[in-house]
A = this chain, B = another copy of it.
């Protein structure tokens, strides 16, 4: 599936219907950015498409992840977070106090592969995750 296609095109080209609910979910993720929990996505989508159901949110997020349109993050806060797969590879910094998740462009992986012998581990890497937890500037002075 071409990375140039937008989410709506990917859905249609994969034989899925472009329902109002799916449009709304994609639109919310596109316009509101940052990774959101299913809960947050429900609230945001409800603003434009009232009556949408949790199972619809979950079913579609799963579909969108499967199609590579959406990325699922495993942040250490007990929830799944979702965001549109950006064109650029990146990782995240997470504030331990307010929970804000921000993208960083820094990726340790290439460097890693260059300097070390991952193949010695007899392991074929497919993807990788890198997260830095800490305190963001807004929370720095809070106790």
A–B pairs, 18, beta carbons within 8 Å:
A74-B74, A76-B129, A102-B121, A102-B123, A106-B112, A106-B116, A106-B118, A108-B109, A108-B112, A108-B130, A109-B132, A122-B137, A123-B135, A125-B134, A127-B133, A128-B133, A129-B133, A130-B131
Chain B CB within 10 Å — which of A93, A106, A118 has the most? Answer: A106
Contact indicator A135/B131 (Cβ below 8 Å): no
Name the one of B76, B123, B133, B134 contacting A93, with C-beta atoms under 8 angstroms: B123
Question: How large, as a class, is the contact surface on chain A?
Answer: 35 or more
Which residues on the B side are within 8 Å of A135 (C-beta)?
A: 123-124, 126
Which residues on the B side are within 8 Å of A111 (C-beta)?
A: 108, 111, 115
Chain B CB within 10 Å — which of A93, A118, A124 has the most? Answer: A124
